[in-house]
Structure 1
Amino acid sequence: MNAGSVSGDCKSSEPIVVGKISHHSIELNWGSGENDRNGPTDSWTRFSLEEMDPKSHNYGTIYIGYSTHHVVEGLEPSTLYKFRLRITRPNGECSLSPAVSVTTSREPLSCKHLHQAVNRNDEEELIRVLQSGTVNVNVCDKLGFTPLMVAAQKGFGRLVRKLVDHGADIHVKNGSGKDSLMLACYAGHLDIVQYLRKFGATWQSRDMGGCTPLHWAADGGHLPVIAYMIQDGCELDVRDTVSHWTPLMRVSAVGGNAAVASLLIRAGADVNVRDKDGKTPLMVAVLNNHEELVELLLDNGADQHVKNEFGSGAAEMAKAFGRQNIIDLLEGRKIL
């Protein structure tokens, strides 16, 4: 944009006519009868469209040519712009139109605004977007998460309710097969878990690896959520479809959270359940050096003499991995 100023000999011209306005463009028209294009171009009237810089208040040229029409593009939504037209005739006579002020329209509501409102926990903006009726409430972001999934994972209970009220599908899954209930279980948002259950979310839902909400709750380690799930009749020894691990096996393999394991065991989880390779929760806990969990499992009837399909038991695994603390613990139990 070239800087420009008004010369003293420029005469006033007819005003610019504003045409179509969008959130990113403004159409401008002028001089319907002034542009005689007969003969060579040096005999044509030339037009220079100028835009004012809001900071310096100086005008700069954004278009030079012989057209009586120009669309200014790449503008910001809901923003005020100011234009004027400089007309130069073949005889050198110059005229300048009165300045015209135009404000671009508000940007149309889109999925971007919906996800922005959720990520910012902006209930007012969320309601505005939802009530517009122009955005699919189940639209996914670039990670494959719906607005409901994001709100459930972040613990934005009020937004979860608004989204469900406006038709959000609680059963939609992301690319890895997780639904809003699984995400809320893993993150430990009990109020949202209860709310989603009220509207039909199921404990039987599975992700791509066959894990259920209880598997994810066990991974998250949030006792109030797990206690509610147990009280609500969630199946304790449900297996995934990859390793055939129950939630108790997941605890043994992933976090070793003895408090979670204790809660599952007290509710009736099988301490001697086997995975597809014949390993028990005790073996998995030994392999991952979860000493407190090993002791808990032994206290609750875990059989250290069971062998996997390769003929190895908990003691052999402890020795193979040099887990002397576990070896001592197991040997002490044998003496007892």
Structure 2
Amino acid sequence: MDEDGLKMLVKLTQDGDLSSMKNHMQTCGLMEAARDKHFGRSGDTLIHYAARHGHLDILEFIIKEVGTDMEVYNNDYKRPLHEAASMGHQACVSYLLQEGAKVDSLKKADWTPLMMACTRRNLDMIRELMEHSADPFLRNKDGWNAFHIACREGDPLVVRYLLEVAPDVWTSESKTRRTPLHTAAMHGREEVVGILLERCDYNPDHKDSCGVTPFMDAVRNGHISLARLLLEKHQASPTAADILGVQPVHQVAITGQDQALRFLVRELHVDVNQRATGSQLTSLHYAAKEGHVSTIKTLLDLGADLHVRDKKGRTALHMASIGQHAEAARTLLQLGLEDSQDASGTMARQLAKKSNIMQVFNYI
């Protein structure tokens, strides 16, 4: 079979040039290939290309005249309906549904066309899928349903619509026990969080399998106004701990959210030297371990104690040395010079030597 001819057939399909595509097929005798051929590593067929690029006339031609099965799938088990829904091509979605495409077909990782549509802020397309009996309660391999995905994307119209047509859809949890509220909080979808707090009966401090609450998700990602909303409207706890005993004040140090640190310590009066119950690490330990220099400075400005030790006897200086974070170690030494002279400093020097950042100590 002529490879150049096949490449041109794919190109004309992707470009949406129906007239040239028809002529090329007839001239080169490619009708059978147009119907059945899977191309490249993806295993796409022409109907996949047409649906993905939103070429309704070519889609109709391939189904009606070429005779391609609309349920044909590629190597990811995507059907044409998945392609059209994921790219937001509503006309193609409408046509495929009218022609009888299976509305809840599953691609790899068990994603449905409705889930794909929820990655787009297109209420009309989602409504059409639902009117063709799409099931919003189906879950993908991670345990997410379409509502989780809608909450991640953050379109309040879509979220309200799904709650209207499927009032219990909010109750679903992922395989790691994360709720749609966790998802919306993590991604900073404040308006959606407001809807969820208004319409859904979530436990204020519902924990996922790692012990993380929606408030933790919000604050460690720097979504402070959303965190305030969870405090004011949901009575979330600013000091709840995950399964390792790590609190929000520690988590924001890990992610380097300086403004969130100020919010927790100055506005909510969280103890800046609070220890994680398992490791006895403080926020300063965590910031040093991650090498967040600005966060170290913020913590010291908020009253963090340089000399606090974890259960293994390590200070923040040790953590910076272990992590080979030269600038963090330099900052800690400059702000607490006495540490370089005592037993703590000796231990840190030994760790630094092993970590190839000894030059930091030599210049202090």
TM over 0.5: yes
Query: What is aligned with 1:110?
Result: 104
Which structure carries more strand by proportion?
1
Q: How does 1:250-289 map to 2 (within 5 A)?
A: 250-253=251-254, 255-265=255-265, 266-275=267-276, 276-289=278-291
* TM-score normalized by the length of structure 1: 0.64
CA contact (8 A) 1:236 1:268 kept: no
Quote the Cα distance in structure 2 between the aligned partners of 1:297 and 1:116: 42
1:80 corresponds in structure 2 to: 64
Count residues with an aligned counterpart: 246
1:214 maps to 215
Give the one of 277, 293, 298 matched to 1:291.
Answer: 293
> How many angstroms apart in 2 are the aligned matches of 1:125 and 1:317?
51
Structure 2 residue 127 is matched with structure 1 residue 127 = yes
- Structure 2 CA distance for aligned equivalents of residues 143 and 162 of structure 1: 23
Corresponding residue for residue 329 of structure 1: 335
Name the amino acid aligned to 2:292: H
User: 1:142 offset after TM fit, Å?
Assistant: 4.2
Any residues of structure 2 matched to 1:136-215 within 5 Å, and which?
A: 136-167=135-166, 168-199=168-199, 200-215=201-216
User: Deviations 1:220-248 (Å, cap 9, x if unpaired)?
Assistant: 2222212322333320111001x211111
Percent sequence identity is 20
CA contact (8 A) 1:117 1:125 kept: yes
Q: How big is the shift at 1:177?
A: 2.2
Report the alpha carbon displacement of residue 196 of structure 1 after superposing the two structures with TM.
Answer: 0.7
With structure 2 as the length reference, what TM-score do the two structures score? 0.59
Deviation per CA, 1:38-91, whole angstroms, max 9, x where unpaired? xxxxxxxxxxxxxxx997599x99xxxxxxxxxxxxxx89743599xxxxxxxx
| CA drift at 1:125 | 2.3
State the 1:304 CA deviation: 2.6
- Which letter does structure 2 place at the counterpart of 1:293? T
CA RMSD of aligned residues (A): 3.3
Deviation at 1:318, TM superposition (A): 4.5
Equivalents in 2 of 1:313, 1:105: separation in Å? 67
TM superposition shift of 1:193: 0.8
> 1:61-80 alignment to 2 at 5 Å?
79-80=63-64
2:248 alignment partner in structure 1: 247
Structure number with the higher helix fraction is: 2
What is the 5 A alignment of 1:45-60? 56=26
Residues 1:311 and 1:116: Cα distance change in structure 2 (over 3 Å): closer
Q: Distance in 2 between matches of 1:327 and 1:238?
A: 32
Q: Structure 1 residues 312 and 116 mapped into 2: Cα distance closer, same or farther (>3 Å)? A: closer
Residue pair 1:137, 1:166 contacting (<8 A) in 2 also? no
| Letter in structure 1 aligned against 2:218 | A
CA separation of 1:325 and 1:302: change in aligned 2, threshold 3 A: closer
Cα offset for 1:316? 4.3
Give the match for residue 19 of structure 2.
Answer: none
Q: CA deviation at 1:264?
A: 1.4
Contact 1:230 1:267 in 2 (8 A): no
Q: Deviation at 1:333?
A: 11
Deviation track 1:167-216 (CA, whole Å, cap 9, x = no partner) reads: 24223111222211111111111000111111223331111111111221
Aligned positions of 1:227-238 closer than 5 A: 227-232=228-233, 233-238=235-240
- 2:302, 2:198 → 1: CA distance? 34
CA-to-aligned-CA distance 1:250-287 (integer Å, 9 cap, x gap): 1112x211011111112122212111111111221222
Letter in 2 for 1:328: Q
- Runs of 5+ consecutive residues of structure 1 not aligned to the other structure: 1-52, 62-75, 84-103
Aligned partners of 2:184 and 2:192 also within 8 Å? yes
Counterpart-to-counterpart distance in 1, 2:261 and 2:205: 20
Quote the residue 1:92 is aligned against. Answer: none
Cα 1:138/1:304, change in 2 over 3 Å:
same
State the structure with more CA Rg.
Answer: 1
